[in-house]
Amino acid sequence: METEIIIVNRERIEDEKILPAAEGVRKGKIVVFPTETVYGVGCRYDDESARERIYAIKGRDLAKPLGIYLLSASEIEEHAVVSATAEGLARVFLPGPLTLVLPGRKGGKLGFRIPSDDVARRLIQLCGAPLSGTSANLSGQKDPTDGQQATAAMEGKVDFIIDAGKTELECPSTVIDLCVDPPVILREGAVSCDELSRVLGCELRKTF
């Protein structure tokens, strides 16, 4: 398939450049986009057909849910049960490179990202709905931290790639599971385990 590559200047983000991708997402298309951590691949959160395409593109295990990208921590409550612990972490770290795993209102666990990256946030705004997504790599391969890496991994597989150069942090988000007490860190990334422990006032278990 043909992929439309959109070059975006972070110093001067133009809606007219991002809008074709946002309109595509509203119609079921797949987009690769930058965040402050790594490049993501996403679709409209409630488009089951598009979500299935992402699993197929990545070769991702269907047992691993996609994350939900939102603009504000206050939106999480529509989708998940938000504990006082989650609210405390959100106040300190969000928007930013922390993924909160929470009990979904319809069952199961859901991971939530509130990106601080201006390009990602503008894309979500223009889509008019949250995105479902994950890192823009084939499963098991390196997470892309610049537009060239994302293009090498995803060109010909997705509908749009928004290339805004290097990501700010060049490492994945930290993932913390708040469905258990005490919380468990599933992946250490841009936010350290020590930082999380200090905010929560307790030692945290790790699964890695």
Q: How far is Cα 190 from Cα 169, in angstroms, rounded to an integer?
A: 7
pLDDT digits (tens, 9 = 90+) for 12-39: 999 999 999 999 999 999 999 999 999 9
The 10s digit of each residue's pLDDT in 52-100 is 999 999 999 999 999 999 999 999 999 999 999 999 999 999 999 999 9
Burial of 83 (0-12, 13-18, 19+ CB in 10 A): middle
Outline where DSSP puts E strands in 47-153: 67-69, 96-103, 109-114, 131-135
**Mean local confidence (pLDDT), 92-112:** 97
Paired strand residues for 134: 41
> What's the whole-model pTM score?
0.97
Q: What DSSP designation does 115 have?
A: -
Q: Which CATH number does 4-206 carry? A: 3.90.870.10
pLDDT for 180 = 95
In percent, the amount of the chain with pLDDT more than 90 equals 98
Q: Which residues contact 199 (CB under 8 A, 6 or more apart)?
A: 88, 89, 92, 93
Sequence-separated (6 or more) residues with CB below 8 Å from residue 200: 85, 88, 89, 182, 183
pLDDT at 208 (0 to 100): 85
Please tell me whether residue 206 adopts helix, strand or coil conformation. strand
User: Tell me: the pLDDT tens digits for 149-190?
Assistant: 999 999 999 999 999 999 999 999 999 999 999 999 999 999
